[in-house]
Every structure is written in structure tokens, then in C-alpha cells.
Amino acid sequence: MGTMEISNVLFAFGLTLFAGLSTGIGSALSLLTKQTNRRFLSVSLGFSAGVMIYVSFAEILVKANDALTASLGEKMGSWAAAGGFFFGILAIAIIDKFIPEAENPHEIHTVEEMDGQSEEHKTKLMRMGLFTALAIAIHNFPEGLATFTAALSDSKLGVPIAVAIAIHNIPEGIAVAVPVFYATGSRQKAFRLSFLSGLSEPVGALIGYILLYRFFSDTMFGFIFAAVAGIMVYISLDELLPSAREYGEHHLSIYGLVAGMVVMAVSLLLFL
């Protein structure tokens, strides 16, 4: 492995680490503020969805299709790209299916709603926090591989994707930290558990890279890239937009979505 390749791998891993550990930002925000800024979260989540949807269709799926048609021919390559896209959607949908609804990391929690709970409720809150942390860890695994693969193939593409994933991880940090804090009264425990749940993102990248590195070829890369596009579109439609709507008004999430698409489009055009 050459020096340039090692630096690319380290850069991609660094971006994935940043994206994963942003659960700690959500945790810190929820533990240091008396109120949840719902409007800001709504716009931010919409923005993140806009970035991820636009980049998936305008860039990632296109690159996947190019790689697969170059190695398999136009017809077979186009079918493989479409298959990879829907495989990514299926994979993340199956992961979501096995996460119990009550502990889903995208269940909305605010700082205000958790005050003054009974002991019995505190036990339930602790259980919710632990299961949410586990759910996030499982969920972030393919996200880590997605961020890492994108950054490895194109560093200019990796940065906006890492930022979008990081924004979407902030409310996940809140979802872990808030119930754990109100169950234990310990900011340190709540922050630690929330921060650790985000570690599965770089771990997912590392394990995925170790397992897939020897098989890396244009065909493998194209299929993984198509699956990454599917994963990101599913996350945006199934989680980010519904969460954005619940945190704020419907129009705020859509304004955020359009703003995310515009920023992503401009950033891609500037690098042409």
C-alpha cells in the first residue's frame, strides 16, 4: 500500500470518526441546555436529508453506474447499479426492522419532557437509554461503511457526506443522553454512553474495509457505492425527514431539505 493510499485511508477513517462521534455533540447539547431548540433541529435534519438525497442521486449512483458499466458492460452494469441501490435500501430496512420501535434511536426526546420522574420510570428510562445506545450502534455500522467508502473514493465527496451524517447523529446523541441522565442523574454517564454509541461508525468502517479490501475491484466498488446511495436515501426518507417534522413545523424541514440540496449542488459544481 503506497503512502498516498495510506493517507487516503486515514483521511476517510478520520471523517468517519468525526461523523460517528458527533453523537457526543447531541449529548453535550442536551445536557448543557434547559430547552431543546426544536426549530434549529428541524432545519438541520432537513438540511442533512437534502445533502444525502441529492448527493446519492446526482453523484454516488452515477459513479457506481460508471464503474459497473465499465467493468460489466452497459446493460449488465446498469442492472448491477440498480440492484446495488435497492440492496442498500433492503439491508438498512432489515436492520431497522429488528430495532424495537420503543428504543428506536429516532424516537423524539426533548430535555423538557424528562423532568420529575418516579423511580419506576427512571428504571424504564435507563433501559430505554441503553437499548437506544445499542440500536444506534447497530444502525451506525453500515453508515460508517458508507461514509468511509465515499471518502475513500473521492475526498471532495466524503466531506459533505460526513457532515450530513454528523448532523443526523446529533439527535441520536440526545436520544441516548436524555433518558440516561434523568435515570441516573449523572451527566458523565449519559455523555459517555452517548459518545460510545457513535464509535460503531468508525468500527463499521474499519471492519468493512478489512473484510472487503482484498476483494476491492471496480465491480465491488461500484456495487458498494450503489448500496451506499440506497442506504443514504432510505435514512433520509425513513428517519431524517419524519424526525425533522416532529421536531418542528412541516415547512421548516422542507426549507432545510431544499437548502441542503442547493449547498450540495453548489459544492459539487465548484469542484468541477
Give every CB contact of residue 230 below 8 A, 6+ residues apart in sequence. Answer: 56, 84, 85, 86, 87, 88, 89, 90, 91, 92
Q: How many domains does one find in the chain?
A: 1
Instruction: Kindly report the number of other CB atoms within 10 A of residue 118's CB atom.
Output: 8
Higher pLDDT, 108 or 52: 52
Whether 8 maps to a domain, the answer reads: no
Rounded Cα distance, 148 and 150, in Å: 6
Over residues 190-227, the pLDDT tens digits come to 888 888 888 888 888 888 778 777 776 778 888 888 98
What confidence score (pLDDT) does residue 247 get? 65
Q: Which secondary-structure segment (H or E) carries 61?
A: helix 61-72
Query: Does 74 show up as a binding residue in the annotation?
Result: no
All cell numbers assigned to 5: 493510499
Query: Does 121 show up as a binding residue in the annotation?
Result: no
Range of the domain at 92: 58-105+132-270
Whether 212 maps to a domain, the answer reads: yes
Whether 20 maps to a domain, the answer reads: no
Over residues 74-106, the pLDDT tens digits come to 999 999 999 999 999 998 888 777 765 544 544
Whether 265 maps to a domain, the answer reads: yes
Whether 224 maps to a domain, the answer reads: yes
Whether 170 maps to a domain, the answer reads: yes
Buried b (16+ CB within 10 A) or exposed e, 65-76: bebbbebbeeee
What confidence score (pLDDT) does residue 115 get? 52
Higher pLDDT, 50 or 42: 50
Over residues 28-41, the pLDDT tens digits come to 877 776 655 667 77
Query: Does 109 show up as a binding residue in the annotation?
Result: no
Query: Does 101 show up as a binding residue in the annotation?
Result: no
Residue 268: exposure state from Cβ atoms within 10 A (0-12, 13-18, ≥19): middle
Whether 266 maps to a domain, the answer reads: yes
Q: Which secondary-structure segment (H or E) carries 70?
A: helix 61-72
Whether 237 maps to a domain, the answer reads: yes
